Amino acid sequence: MQSLWLRSAAHTIAFGVGCSVLVGVVGFGCAVDGAEEAALFAFEQDTTCGNIKGPPRLLIRNGTLSPTIALSPGQAMAVGQVHRSAQPCTSAGTSLGTCTATVINDSWALSAGHCFSQERGGLAWGEEKSVAAAPYFLSLSPEEDGNMCAPSVVTVPILAVFDSVQLEAQARALGLSIPVRGASFGSDVALLRLGASVRARLPALEPLELTRRRLTNADVGQSVAIAGYGSEVPFGPGSVERRWTRLVIDQVSAALVVTDGQARSGPCQGDSGGPLLMLEPAAGGFSADVLREEKKLASAPPRVRLIGTLWGGVSVDDRCVDQDRWSRVDVLHDAITTLAGPSGRAGYSGPESKCGPTGEGACISATEIQRCTAGVPDTAGPENCALSGRVCGLKAKNTWECVAPEEDLCEGYRPWGACIGETSQIAIWCEPDFDASSGPLRQRDCARCGPEPGAGTCGFSSFHNSHYCLH
């Protein structure tokens, strides 16, 4: 995996690529207590981060080229490789990858924060920059084995990274509980803003869905699947093929899940940021009022959901087959989806999802409309209404056009909505398929309509696919 466990004279410390020796400090600043240190065994370190003693660490040990959980070929494609070059492979056919990442909707992916450096120039943390400035890229392969050197590989730039600190700040703004830092190492989730539409570049890809269900100690002993592009030697090139295996959940803490490879298999260097996947009931994590609205969820087939991203190893030896820690994504679900929008099928159902309910086109921003033919986006790309001094708006039921602002039946709002009001606690959105007597605009006062007075919080709801009241 991208982070290696090293033992200094005083403490066991976690490092990513380009790390420095900070005795007693883990990656992003979490102190290691005695109990954690006693549980970690690692390579010996001499004086620098790259001077490692010990046998080579292999890519996902004893893994397979086929998914070890019930994924469709399109869902398997969602697991890709992060690298700093605009090309994923060298001319000699070796990988340039450093970490693993998972696409969660058309424009966003999840990985691990320690895979990205703020000091190496150009990367935007919590904001967007031009594609030309992006020093990191994500490559996705439609090949069955995930081959990164195949001509069919699609590479998109990573424009921005929202790390765990920023996601936790977003969670606090929503009034949500957040992972506990300190001896537990905190979270290492990284939310990646991509610089190109995944559905436009790789229509067959199906983003993976984040779990909505809070993990508990009852999950200990459950079987989970992992995937990644681990390298064959420490600090060596990443694998050109995607590997899969199954592990068992050994511990669940406030911010982390610890898995056990049971001396059979596990992740290694280059797998950091890769997904931890579990098969869950389709209705898992939905509240009772939502289930009443969508009873079909209760009887639908189980779904594979992403419950964590690889933080780093806690292996008791150097074999990559023992224990590893994963950052929980369930505790940051609402923070992630508020920034990125819904995950999985709710946020991406293929090319037709940009084409509106009639398949003829829809607004993709306040000033852009995507024209479509037979439910497929036109290759010319979106039309910029701003060039003619207009906006993209609703002209009639299910009809999106470039219109003057005063002609927009949505009054500037779109189906994904917004939070408005003095305290930003009123959810408002536009329904293109509306009743003529009521019009397309809908509102809900979250402060009054929560589970109890004052308990509701306006934010992006992945279930409603728009801004709504989060409980």
Q: Is 320 inside any structural domain?
A: yes
Q: What local confidence, expressed as pLDDT, does residue 382 receive?
A: 82
- Co-location of 288 and 381 in the same domain: no
Region 187-207: mean pLDDT is 87
Query: What percentage of the chain carries pLDDT values higher than 90?
Result: 25
Residue 49 has pLDDT above 70, yes or no: no
Residue 238 has pLDDT above 80, yes or no: no
- Co-location of 234 and 275 in the same domain: yes
Residue 180's pLDDT band, with cuts at 50, 70 and 90, is low
Residue 177's pLDDT band, with cuts at 50, 70 and 90, is low
- Which one-letter DSSP state was computed for residue 134? -
Q: What local confidence, expressed as pLDDT, does residue 152 receive?
A: 93
393 or 231, which is more confident?
Answer: 393
Q: What local confidence, expressed as pLDDT, does residue 16 receive?
A: 30
Say how many Å lie between the first and final Cα of the chain, rounded. Answer: 36
Number of domains in the chain: 4
Residue 118's pLDDT band, with cuts at 50, 70 and 90, is low
Q: What local confidence, expressed as pLDDT, does residue 26 receive?
A: 27
- Co-location of 422 and 438 in the same domain: yes
Residue 463 has pLDDT above 80, yes or no: no
Q: Among candidates 173, 359, 324, which has minimal Cα distance to 246? A: 324
> Which of these three, 295, 314, 346, is where a domain ends?
346
Region 208-218: mean pLDDT is 92
DSSP for 156-225 reads: EEEEEEE-HHHHHHHHHHTT------STT----EEEEEESS-HHHH-TT--PPEEP-SPP-GGGTT-EEE
Region 254-267: mean pLDDT is 86
Q: Is 412 inside any structural domain?
A: no
- Which one-letter DSSP state was computed for residue 56? P
- Co-location of 448 and 383 in the same domain: no
338 or 70, which is more confident?
Answer: 70
- What is the Cα–Cα distance from 73 to 339, expressed in whole angstroms? 27
Q: Is 68 inside any structural domain?
A: no
Region 17-36: mean pLDDT is 28
> Which of these three, 346, 370, 393, is where a domain ends?
346
- Co-location of 33 and 77 in the same domain: no
Q: Is 137 inside any structural domain?
A: yes
DSSP for 81-132 reads: EEESSSSSB-TTS-B-EEEEEEE-SSSEEEEEGGG--SSSSS-EESS---GG
Q: Is 413 inside any structural domain?
A: no
Look up the CATH number of the domain holding residue 82. 2.40.10.120
- Co-location of 137 and 222 in the same domain: yes
315-352 pLDDT, tens digit each: 444 567 788 899 999 988 888 887 887 888 665 544 44
Residue 292's pLDDT band, with cuts at 50, 70 and 90, is low
Q: What local confidence, expressed as pLDDT, does residue 110 receive?
A: 97
163 or 355, which is more confident?
Answer: 163
Mean pLDDT, the chain, as a whole number?
74
**Which structural domain, as residue segments, surrounds residue 377?**
351-407
Q: Is 65 inside any structural domain?
A: no
- Co-location of 379 and 397 in the same domain: yes
Q: Tokens 């829809």: give the residue.
A: 362
Residue 20 has pLDDT above 70, yes or no: no
**HSE value, Cβ hemisphere, 13 Å, CA-based, for 203:** 9
Q: What local confidence, expressed as pLDDT, does residue 65 receive?
A: 86
Residue 176's pLDDT band, with cuts at 50, 70 and 90, is low
Residue type for 59, please?
A: L
- Co-location of 145 and 87 in the same domain: yes
Residue 419's pLDDT band, with cuts at 50, 70 and 90, is confident
Question: Which segment, 56-70, 233-247, 283-297, is predicted with the most confidence on average?
Answer: 233-247
Q: What local confidence, expressed as pLDDT, does residue 237 receive?
A: 60
Q: What local confidence, expressed as pLDDT, does residue 119 receive?
A: 53
Q: Is 303 inside any structural domain?
A: yes
Residue 461's pLDDT band, with cuts at 50, 70 and 90, is low
Q: What local confidence, expressed as pLDDT, does residue 257 receive?
A: 93
- Do 136 and 116 meet the contact criterion of CB atoms below 8 Å apart? yes
Q: What local confidence, expressed as pLDDT, does residue 462 receive?
A: 55
Least confident of 9-13, 109-113, 155-159, 344-348: 9-13
- Co-location of 47 and 167 in the same domain: no
Residue 457's pLDDT band, with cuts at 50, 70 and 90, is confident
- Co-location of 27 and 133 in the same domain: no
Region 185-211: mean pLDDT is 86
Q: Is 318 inside any structural domain?
A: yes
Residue 55 has pLDDT above 90, yes or no: no
- Co-location of 235 and 355 in the same domain: no
Q: What local confidence, expressed as pLDDT, does residue 231 receive?
A: 64
- Co-location of 195 and 173 in the same domain: yes
Residue 190 has pLDDT above 80, yes or no: yes
- Do 328 and 187 meet the contact criterion of CB atoms below 8 Å apart? yes
Region 431-448: mean pLDDT is 85
- What is the Cα–Cα distance from 338 to 174, expressed in whole angstroms? 9
